[in-house]
Structure 1
Amino acid sequence: MFSPVQTRRTFEEAAEQIADKVRTGQLRTGDRLPGERSLAAQMEISRPTLREAVKVLVEAGVLEVRRGPGGGMFVATNVVPVELVRQRSSLRLGEVAQVLEARRLVEPRVAQLAAVRATDDDFAAMQRSIDLMRELVAEGYTPEDEDRFLQIDVMFHLALARAAGNQTVETLMRMLIRELEIARDMAMHHPLVPEWTIEIHRRTMEAVRRGDVAEVEHVMDEHLGQLERAYEEESNRALVRPLPDFLLPLTARQAPAAS
């Protein structure tokens, strides 16, 4: 019934697909949608992104989620507010921008703290995630492997957070990474280059291992910039205007005025 989501505003298009089927009578009041795993697979989006779409539609009264035996996602009405998706999309895209801004504010400092505190066990955990990525590529990487690849990517970033040696920082990064899953989906229809990700992780780990906090910042700047650029291209908006100089990518910061 549902088709792959093609744009990078994935949760918006997912919500639009469901809403359109209600508007056209393909889905009627009381109809049960496919299970979360099945529906996400049909749309070729992540389950967290599907949850964002469902959240929009539940808040608008289009869907209801029932718990317990016989539960699931059900159509609650055959009337869909005309401006539903348009109004919500602006809000949610703004929230994604805030998550990306928070990441730029937090993660480079976390990586620099790891450069001071990381242990051999921390480096072993980072290396393990890099090795798993390499194994996935060596086995013949296909688009179906993207979810697994991104799960391993999360493993690397959590290992980096643990290496900072601060439980509160690790908890903060876990929360931030969960929020980033939506932003990640926005970048996924840009060609994913596993080799680039592997290399940027290797360079990050080596900079941390050397304790080179300046190099850590440069590598993290490059790493974070990829997702930020994808967001700007697909949403057709800048992350934040105006952006303080200390949050700008290093390459965009103004050079000091000559004395």
Structure 2
Amino acid sequence: MEAGFEPIGPRRAFEGAVEQIAQRIRHGDLGEGDRLPSERQLAEAMRISRPTLREAVKVLSKAGVLEVHPGATGGIFVASGYVPIELLRQQSDVRLAEVAGVLEARRLLEPQVARFAAENASEADFERMQMTIEAHKQMLRSGEVLEREDRFLQLDMQFHVRMAEATGNATVVGLMRSLLRRLEIGRDLALRQPPIPEWVVDIHERTLAALRSCDDAAIAAVMDEHLGGMERAWEQETGRKLRLLG
């Protein structure tokens, strides 16, 4: 497990540790009840001191994301699969002026990721994407969307992570994870419009169907619609035009 964590630069070691653990939970790599590597293993993997790691764990525990169990059978555990966006916003260096660049980069990258995923995905990959759709549907059925909007958006982001993982290319996955991290902070900074839950579920179902069909035209059309929703919302909210390839 510790191999998934990365070294953190010395200037922002504390913020980096908080963000890295939180993002692994938001991306669905770690779920409720999962045990993290030991304090020593985590500190070594991130190349930070154990006191710095403890402070990061303390912040995440206070937010209800982690819990620490003492004793020989204890350790650091994920208390909740939900990470409040406010926690990531506090640690983020994304500025409002940079959000346009994030959206433009996504338009260049993600349609190609979708095509690559369609060509390389296994049935297990498709099933993992379907699981995020089912979680969205459960939220709709229970009427929790308005009260837990950020949780709904977290599942939306996980769908896109699963699609990137379906490419089987670690570099692509890393690029998409970084882009999606900045995108969700950017959305929180820039957009006051809530998501339309029924549309999100529908577009995810149609995206998954297009990937399964491996039809380039269908993939291009659904990805254009998928990305266009947030792009138009950004332009309406800010009065700025994005530089998108026509």
Where structure 1 has 5 or more consecutive residues not aligned to the other structure, the ranges are 1-34, 39-43, 57-91, 249-259
Q: 1:103 aligns with which of 103, 106, 112?
A: 106
RMSD between superposed Cα atoms in Å? 2.2
Q: Which runs of 4+ in 1 moved over 2 A?
A: 35-38, 44-52, 141-144, 186-189
Matched residues in 1 for 2:242 and 2:85: separation?
A: 23
Counterpart-to-counterpart distance in 1, 2:143 and 2:181: 28
Confirm or deny: 8 A CA contact 2:139 2:145 kept in the other structure: no
| Counterpart secondary structure, 2:147 | helix
- For the residue of structure 2 that corresponds to 1:214, the secondary structure is helix
Q: Which amino acid aligns with 1:121?
A: A
Give 1:238's aligned residue: 241
- Counterpart check, 1:148 vs 2:151: yes
Between the aligned partners of 2:102 and 2:194, the Cα distance in structure 1 is 22
SS of the residue corresponding to residue 161 of structure 2 reads helix
Please give the TM-score of this superposition, normalised by the length of structure 1: 0.59
Match of 1:82 in 2: none
Give the residue type in structure 1 aligned to 2:214. Answer: G
After superposition, give the CA deviation of every residue in 1:53-106 in whole Å (9 maximum; x if it has no partner): xx69xxxxxxxxxxxxxxxxxxxxxxxxxxxxxxxxxxx333111110000000
| 2:163 counterpart (139, 160, 165) | 160
Superposition deviation, residue 142 in structure 1 = 3.9
Indicate the SS of the match to 1:230. helix
Contact 1:204 1:220 in 2 (8 A): yes
Instruction: Select the structure of larger CA radius of gyration.
Output: 1
Secondary structure of the residue aligned to 2:227 is: helix
1:110-148 CA-to-partner distances (Å, cap 9, x unmatched) read 001111111000000000000000001101134221111
Task: Give the structure 2 partner of residue 46 of structure 1.
Answer: 86
Q: Are the structure 2 counterparts of residues 104 and 167 from structure 1 closer, same or farther at C-alpha, using a change threshold of 3 Å?
A: same
SS at match of 1:144: coil
Structure 1 residues 49 and 235: alpha-carbon distance in aligned structure 2, compared to 1, 3 A threshold: farther
Match of 1:214 among 205, 212, 217: 217
- Structure 1 residues 195 and 156, CA, compared in 2 at 3 Å: closer, same or farther? same
Say whether 1:130 aligns with 2:130. no
Q: How far off is 1:187 after superposition?
A: 6.2
Aligned match of 1:182:
185
One-letter amino acid of the counterpart of residue 86, structure 2? S
Instruction: Structure 2: state its 5+ residue gaps.
Output: 1-58, 64-83
Contact kept in structure 1, 2:207 and 2:219, CA below 8 Å: yes
The answer for the alignment partner of 1:223 in structure 2 is 226
Aligned residues: 167
CA distance in 1, matches of 2:85, 2:235: 20
**1:64 maps to which residue?**
none
Question: Which amino acid letter does the alignment assign opposite residue 202 of structure 1?
Answer: E
1:187–1:227 Cα contact (<8 Å) kept:
no
Q: Normalising by the residue count of structure 2, what TM-score does the alignment of the two structures yield?
A: 0.62
Q: Distance in 1 between the 2:186 and 2:203 partners?
A: 19
SS in 1 for 2:160: helix
Deviation at 1:185, TM superposition (A): 1.6
Cross-structure match for 2:204: 201
- Answer yes or no: is the 8 Å Cα contact 2:164–2:172 preserved in 1: yes
Distance 1:208 1:142, change over 3 A: closer
Residue 184 of structure 1: CA displacement? Answer: 2.0
1:48 and 1:181 in contact (8 A); partners too? no
Hey, what does 1:173 align to over in structure 2? 176
How far apart are 1:150 and its partner, in Å? 1.1
Give the match's secondary structure for 1:165: coil
2:191–2:234 CA contact under 8 A, matched in 1: no
